[in-house]
Structure 1
Amino acid sequence: MKRRSFLKSAAASFPFAGFDPTVFATSGVDQPNQGEVISAGKDRLGEVHSRGYSTILFKVLPRETSNGLFVIEHINLVNGGPPLHKHLYQEEYFYLISGEVRFAVGDKRLTLGAGDSILGPRGIPHTFAAVEGKRSHLLISFSPAGKMEDFLRDTAVPNPPVQDAEFFRRYGMELVGPSPFMA
């Protein structure tokens, strides 16, 4: 039995063990991006998404990596960001391309500059916000991808749904509270 098949079977068989079977889902897998360049400032599918504090470009789609990876780019990130939350099934890695961004990861409060990076481990509350008055450019990856593409598609729309605790749970996350950077 292949490892991925085994893991999907185990996740489905033992939901009480904390496994989310959607983490291993492979339906709708496209061929991997085989050397196709995604130009600067462009989305993988030519789309544009926004949660109000930046423009979000999808760079690597979960279906290209058997749900192993999802990579997005925040351009023109301004003061604002997501609420304090934690992922139950994936790590979130941040790499700052330009500008300054404040991060809360667990009990730490840090300001990162261009070239800095930080990991938001699964199960640890985290959030980020650009330093006011400084446009920033941030690359974020989720591994495994889980339901993050769906989450961003469902929230990066005009008049998004109420993003309460139940909404976050549908996407394998837990809403912890407001961002410590938003007053």
Structure 2
Amino acid sequence: MSERRSFLKRAAAFLPVVGLDPMALAGSQAVDASKQGKIIAAGKDCLGETHSRGYSSILFKVLPRETSNGLFVIEHMNLVNGGPPLHKHLYQEEYFYLISGEVRFAVGDQRLTLRAGDSILGPRGIPHTFAAVEGKPSHMLISFSPAGKMEEFLRDTAVPDPPVQDAAFWRRYEMELVGPSPFAG
């Protein structure tokens, strides 16, 4: 529980850095009292679903519709060797917080290894990717701000027979496919 609180404090401090006013996330509409303070249990998705990318299981924690599309938060569980191709987001930042394990990151020209408690920002317009260090399953939280079309992207690719993910496919979700991951082996 203290890890979650610590992450949430860091995430809240991070929001102004990416140009979000935490108070503005509530939007101008009244907040539905039945949705305030909703607890999402450890290892659970906010809708009771699970999504797979082949190299991890993904749980949706904060949905875009809950924040007027200002934020989307996912949890990668059991991230094993593998990860997405090198890509960039055209309209959002992607923030990564590593809970456990080790994950290699490419952000622009940098190649870094993050360990539990480390975090990194993938700024909009900068190519980035990640991959777990082989043999060490990892666990991390990822947030997208604004949410953009990331929920749709993850839903459309987390199916038993996902569509071909060529450059045109990535553009539909406001991302650009840059090339293969530098960690692909």
| TM-score scaled by length of structure 2 | 0.82
The aligned counterpart of 1:131 is 133
**1:102·1:129 contact (CA, 8 Å) conserved in 2?**
yes
The aligned counterpart of 2:81 is 79
Relative to structure 1, is the Cα distance of residues 108 and 30 closer, same or farther in structure 2, using a 3 angstrom cutoff? farther
DSSP 3-state at the match of 1:38: coil
The aligned counterpart of 2:115 is 113
Q: Which amino acid aligns with 1:153?
A: R
Where do 1:122-161 residues align within 5 Å?
Answer: 122-161=124-163
Residue-by-residue CA offset, 1:116-154 (whole Å, 9 max, x unaligned): 000000000000000000010010000000000000000
DSSP 3-state at the match of 2:161: coil
Q: Which amino acid aligns with 1:67?
A: N
- Whole-angstrom distance in 1 between the partners of 2:179 and 2:32: 36
Pairing partner for 2:47 from 42, 45, 48 = 45
**Are residues 1:93 and 2:95 paired?**
yes
The aligned counterpart of 1:102 is 104
Shift of 1:61: 0.1
Relative to structure 1, is the Cα distance of residues 38 and 164 closer, same or farther in structure 2, using a 3 angstrom cutoff? same
Consecutive unaligned residues of structure 1, counting only runs of 5 or more, are 1-25
**1:32·1:64 contact (CA, 8 Å) conserved in 2?**
no
Q: Which amino acid aligns with 1:77?
A: L
Shift of 1:33: 3.9
Shift of 1:30: 7.8
The aligned counterpart of 1:61 is 63
DSSP 3-state at the match of 1:96: strand
Shift of 1:32: 8.5
Identity of aligned residues (%): 86
- Whole-angstrom distance in 2 between the partners of 1:34 and 1:118: 29
- Whole-angstrom distance in 1 between the partners of 2:66 and 2:108: 31
Relative to structure 1, is the Cα distance of residues 31 and 48 closer, same or farther in structure 2, using a 3 angstrom cutoff? farther
- Whole-angstrom distance in 2 between the partners of 1:92 and 1:32: 29
**1:74·1:138 contact (CA, 8 Å) conserved in 2?**
yes
The aligned counterpart of 1:13 is none
**1:30·1:64 contact (CA, 8 Å) conserved in 2?**
no
